[in-house]
Each structure stands twice: as structure tokens, then as C-alpha cells.
Structure 1
Amino acid sequence: MKPLVQVQDVGMKFDTKNGSFVALRDINLDISEGEVITLIGHSGCGKSTLLNLIAGLTLPSSGGLICNGREIAGPGPERGVVFQNHSLLPWLSCFDNVYLGVERVFGAKEGRAKLKERTEAALAMVHMDHAMNKFPHEISGGMKQRVGIARAFAIEPKILLMDEPFGALDALTRASLQDELIGVMDKTGATVVMVTHDVDEAVLLSDRVVMMTNGPAATIGEILQVKLAKPRNRLALAHDPQFAEYRAAILEFLYKKQLKHAA
């Protein structure tokens, strides 16, 4: 079956006052429908740059990207994005923040009742239906991220792109939202690409972990296939020797191969 997303010989460079800066080189990656991919690596390795290229927020300097059989030439509703900052509009309620995206994507072909139903279903999926009339300043950081995830899922994207969505949260809230995301992914069969710095998060959520070499001119160093049964339970995995092996493999790449290479 043809991959949902194809990244083909992609390179990315930026013009700076000190000359050209090469952020990425020779990136080749196929992402299948329903697959969960995490991008991990040290700061400056181009993880977010690659995510932004798939989102269509920036265009590559060389190579090309294809999503669902079409070249990625800009943002599109088939690619939902969740940022580290929830990016909710503060003057809108939780309901209206989600409804805004739903209306933009489906408003031309669906009536208000159906749009309202889509919005409420998305909020219920992340257990935020009880707070749909609250404003962002009235809810916690973790709840804001839930609304951001609901907003992304509500437009039914082919692929969900997440840039460290839990990075700014405390450990307990982050764990709770990771478990929430596992449940949502199981329900929807979503295709997900997520940037993370958290090794445990990468193993817990992923089908494959894409490990990036150090920048500048970063590329894909290794890809780890995670063959843990789904759905995954973090408490059970804490004592799973296979989980420990996957975790050790990522740590070895990041802190032995990459730091040794940098030295």
C-alpha cells in the first residue's frame, strides 16, 4: 500500500546574516496510514523543522513531500497541527475555539447542528465536554492542551502533527495526557507524527522512533521499530524488559553515538 506521507530527499537551508545555514539534509521517510511516528534528537537537530515541512508551514530547499498523493505546497485541512503552546484564542470559549476550525473545514457542506455535533464530540473525546463554555484563562494548562488536541481531531485530518505537545506540562499532567492520547489514537486510528525530547514518551506512543543526528545538516540517523502490543499500559510497561531494551537503544543513540560524535 502506498504511504500516506512521503518525504523524498528533503533538504532545508536558511539564509542568515552569516550566510547559508543547512538545517536538514537527505531526509527520506515514508509514513503509513495509522502509523505513529515520533521524532527525537538533541536540540537543534531539525525535528520541528521537519514537522513544519510536513505541515506545509515551510517549504523545502530541495526534494519534495507528498501527502495523500498530492505535493505538500502549504498548510491543508488533511494535516492537523498541535503546538507546544496550545494557541487557543483567549476571547473564545473552549467550544468556540474548536467550532471555529470545524466551521472553516465543513461549514460549506454542513449545517450548524452538524457542526455543533462535531465540536461536542471532539471535546467529549478528550473529556473536556464539561468545560466547553469556559474560556482558556479559566482552565489549567493540561486542559488547554486537551482542547488543542480536540480542535485538531475535530477537522478529521489524515495526519496529526504534534510539536512537543506535553513538553511544558508537569510530569503527572504529561503522563495523564499521554494516556489520553493513546485512548484517542485507539478510537480514531489516527496517523500521528510527534516531536518529543522524552525517551519514555517516544517508546510508549510510537510504532517507529525516528532518531535524528546532531545539527547542523542533520539527517535521520536510525529508525527504531517498536513492537510492543497495543493498547499500551504505562504501569505494565514499567516492568517490561522489551520496553527497557527500546529505551536503552534510544539512549545509546542519543548519549553515546551522538555526543561522542559531537565531541
Structure 2
Amino acid sequence: MEKFVELTHVSKDFDTKKGRFQALADVNLSIASGEFVTLIGHSGCGKSTLLNLIAGLLEASDGGLICNGREIDGPGPERGVVFQNHSLLPWMTCYGNVHLAVEKVFGAKENKARLKARSEAALNLVGLGHASHKHPNEISGGMKQRVGIARALAMEPKVLLMDEPFGALDALTRAHLQDELLRIVGETHSTVVMVTHDVDEAVLLSDRIVMMTNGPAATIGDIVKVGLERPRDRLALANDPRYHHYRTAVLEFLYQRQQRPAA
């Protein structure tokens, strides 16, 4: 499979009041086209830092990052980001929030009708065509997250980056959006990198689960390849021994890291 993202000996340091802090050290990772990868680990292990490096929101202190054959040297439309906080503009409608991103990426190349069609298609993809005229304060938390996902997908990114997008939602809404994400990824064949704290979410969604060691100087401790066929049904997986095998492998890694003091 074609590799869309490559990280080679990536490190990230921050200057703090107490001196230099190394968040990440010698991270090496390749992500293939169409692959769904989750990053998991204890708080402070650098998951979000790693995601922000791929997004181009942070610059690596050492090492190299490549996306689709080009060096990552800042944010770009080929990498769409969905944050834990939906980050919608409150004075704009759902349609307006999505359309703003579409105009930014495609405005110089396409006419108004095509831009409108792109925006509407993205909202329909996440099941929110009926709410396009509503403002963020008129919809639920789960719907806001779906608008955020629609906005990212409307840019037609080569890589979709998600930082715990469902972390603040209740269990039922979270399960619904996980299923929606599975459906969307199945339709778009998107390459996805997602940060999560939820082991079940990681196993349900992922092709590979990248498990981070504790910080400081966190790195990749191990990777679990999830050999579950797609499309995936959460109810069927509940009784699948392979699902429980992968879940146990991740939990054992996290438990061992919890018992081991940080270096």
C-alpha cells in the first residue's frame, strides 16, 4: 500500500520555566493510504503533540515528517483536523462553517454552484443536511462534532487527523458517532490518524493501534495490528474472540506502563 505519512526519528522539545522538556523522542512511523491508525497511551505521553506535528501545527525539534511525498512544514489542506472541541464559529450556520473551509480550499478553482454542492454533500455525508440552516447553539454536542467532521471532509484531505473527537460526549452519542465514522471512512477510503483514550474505540475503528510509552521523551512502545474485517459491526464483535484478544493486548500494555515509573 502507498504510504501517505512517514515520520523518521521525530523528536519534539518544549522550552518551559523549568528548562527544556522533551515530549517525544525518536518516533518512527509509516501510515499507508486508506489506513486507520489510532494513537493511545496514558495522559502526557505526547499523543496530541504527535498529531499536531503531523498536522503541521507544531514543528519537530529533530527528524523528518512527510505527507504524500512532501515535507510537512506547516498546515495544509491535504491534512484535515477535527479537534476534541468542535471549534465551530458560533455566528455561522452549520452550512456556513463547512462552506468557509470549502471556499478556502477550492474558491480559486471552482464556481459558486460547485462550492455550494461540495458543502451540502459534506453535510449530507454526516447526516446533517436537514440542519444546515441551524447555528451551533441550536444543535446537540454530537451534531456539532459531526459538523466538524463534515468541515474536515469537505476539504477532501488526503489524511484526516482527529484528536479525541468524541471524548466529551455521552456513551450513546459516542457509539453512534463511532458507527458514523466507520460508515464515512468506508465510503471515502480516507487515511485517518486518531488520538483516543478509549481502548474499545481503538479496537473497533483501527487497522493499527500505536501505543505510546509514558513521557517525558515518549516514543512508540508497540503497535497492534487489528485483523478484523470491514465493515465492522460492534454487536457482532462483542462475541468475537479476536476483538477481545486485541483489547487485552492494549490493556496489558497500558497497565504495564501505569505500573512503571516514567524515565
TM-score (norm 1): 0.99
One-letter code of the match for 1:261? R
SS of the aligned residue for 1:209 comes to strand
Kindly report which structure 2 residues correspond to 1:48-127, keeping only aligned pairs within 5 A, or say none: 48-127=48-127
CA distance in 2: counterparts of 1:237 and 1:156, whole angstroms = 30
* Displacement after TM superposition at 1:2 (Å): 4.4
1:129 corresponds in structure 2 to: 129
SS class of match (2:184)? helix
Rounded to whole Å, the distance in 2 between the matches of 1:214 and 1:194 is 18
For the pair 1:144 / 2:144, whether they are aligned, the reply is: yes
Residue 225 of structure 1 and its aligned partner are, at CA, apart by 0.2
Deviations 1:161-214 (A, max 9, x none): 000000000000000000000000000000000000000000000000000000
Q: Which runs of 4+ in 1 moved over 3 A?
A: none
Q: 1:3, CA displacement in angstroms?
A: 1.2
Match of residue 178 from structure 2: 178
CA distance in 1, matches of 2:202, 2:51: 15
Q: Deviations over 1:63-84 (max 9, x none)?
A: 0100011100000000000000
CA distance in structure 2 between the partners assigned to 1:2 and 1:254 by the alignment: 30
1:259 matches 2:232: no
Q: Secondary structure at the match of 1:4?
A: strand
**When the two structures are superposed, what TM-score results if normalisation uses the length of structure 2?**
0.99
Q: What residue identity is the alignment partner of 1:185?
A: V
- In the alignment, which residue of structure 1 is the partner of 2:164? 164
Distance (Å, rounded) in 1 between the aligned partners of 2:203 and 2:141: 24
Alignment correspondent of 2:227: 227
> How much has 1:260 moved relative to structure 2?
2.4
Residue in 2 that maps onto 1:32: 32
Task: Report percent identity of matched pairs.
Answer: 70
- For the aligned residue pairs, the C-alpha RMSD in angstroms reads 0.8
CA distance in 1, matches of 2:80, 2:245: 32
Matched, 1:206 2:210: no
- What residue number does 1:46 align with? 46
Rounded Cα–Cα distance in structure 1 between residues aligned with 2:58 and 2:245: 36
| C-alpha distance in structure 2 between counterparts of 1:80 and 1:121, whole Å | 17
Gaps of 5+ in 1: none
1:51 aligned partner, one-letter code: L
Q: Give the distance between the partners of 2:63 and 2:128, measured in 1 at CA.
A: 41
Number of the residue aligned with 1:242: 242
Provide the C-alpha distance between the structure 1 equivalents of 2:8 and 2:58, rounded to a whole number of angstroms.
Answer: 15
The unaligned stretches of length 5 or more in structure 2 are none
2:62 alignment partner AA: S
Question: CA offset at residue 261 of structure 1?
Answer: 1.6
Shift of 1:248: 0.3
The AA in structure 2 aligned to 1:262 is P
Post-superposition offset of 1:259: 1.7
Per-residue CA shift, 1:76-117, capped at 9, x if unaligned? 000000000000000000000000000010010100100000
Quote the Cα distance in structure 1 between the aligned partners of 2:46 and 2:258: 16
CA distances 1:2-44 after superposition (whole Å, capped 9, x unpaired): 4110001000010111100000001000000000000000000
